[in-house]
């Protein structure tokens, strides 16, 4: 093989290599763009979900079905507001929620003598719990796998899950809300009500 042939072959493979690298870069960029777009869509759906919960709460307040001083009302309102305002922390919240979930012990249900809350508010409580489930599943691929294979998933309902989770993440989620709204300083009362609901449900 003469020198010219070697140069031609080398040039050909060099051009081919450049082309392949270029295509790989384009594919990588497209994959990143697709993932970014999907993430943005997930974020908007999450914000819309909790926005609907908050709007439903305000509707109950306007209809005088629930008083705004109701502790459970304030808890659900604070959660939905925080999640709407901090989409940049969904992944961190997902990690924290799944750790809280793994550390949660399912307690035996017991009947409660306390007055029943309005069914509309209880419905929003379930929706809030389901929304937190979605955050766990949609914002951490690795933890999603752990979450799906957990045997505890078959033994716990959204409401049972929500009560102890609120207990563990109260300071983390509501820290800013407590500082800006003195009424939420009674969060311990709301937390106890959530626990009572989970045992009575």
Q: How far apart are CA 20 and CA 81, in angstroms?
A: 48
| pLDDT tier, 140 (very low <50, low <70, confident <90, very high otherwise) | confident
Q: How far apart are CA 196 and CA 190, in angstroms?
A: 10
Same domain membership, residue 186 and residue 130: no
Same domain membership, residue 165 and residue 96: no
**Structural domain that includes position 191:** 160-200
> 29: helix, coil or strand?
helix
Average pLDDT score over residue span 119-123: 84
Q: What is the pLDDT of residue 110?
A: 42
Average pLDDT score over residue span 149-163: 52
Nearest to 57 by CA among 152, 157, 124, 114: 124
CA 81 to chain centre: 13
Domain total of the chain? 2
Residue that wins the pLDDT comparison between 142 and 114: 142
Average pLDDT score over residue span 38-50: 90
Same domain membership, residue 95 and residue 56: yes
Same domain membership, residue 170 and residue 142: no
Domain contains 131: yes
């Amino acid at each position: 093989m003469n020198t010219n042939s070697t140069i031609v072959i080398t040039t050909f493979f060099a051009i081919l290599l450049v082309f392949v690298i270029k295509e790989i870069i384009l594919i990588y960029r497209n994959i990143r763009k697709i993932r970014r777009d999907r993430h943005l869509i997930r974020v908007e759906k999450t914000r819309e979900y909790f926005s609907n919960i908050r709007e439903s709460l305000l509707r109950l307040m306007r209809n005088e079905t629930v008083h705004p001083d109701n502790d459970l009302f304030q808890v659900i309102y604070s959660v939905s507001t925080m999640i709407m305002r901090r989409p940049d922390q969904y992944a961190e919240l997902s990690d924290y929620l799944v750790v809280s979930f793994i550390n949660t012990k399912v307690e035996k249900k017991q009947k409660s003598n306390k007055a029943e809350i309005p069914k509309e508010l209880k419905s929003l409580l379930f929706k809030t719990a389901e929304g937190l489930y979605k955050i766990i599943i949609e914002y951490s691929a690795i933890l999603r796998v752990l979450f799906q294979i957990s045997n505890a998933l078959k033994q716990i309902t959204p409401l049972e899950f929500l009560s102890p989770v609120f207990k563990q993440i109260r300071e983390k989620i509501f820290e800013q809300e407590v500082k800006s709204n003195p009424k939420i300083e009674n969060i311990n009362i709301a937390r106890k009500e959530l626990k009572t609901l989970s045992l009575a449900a």
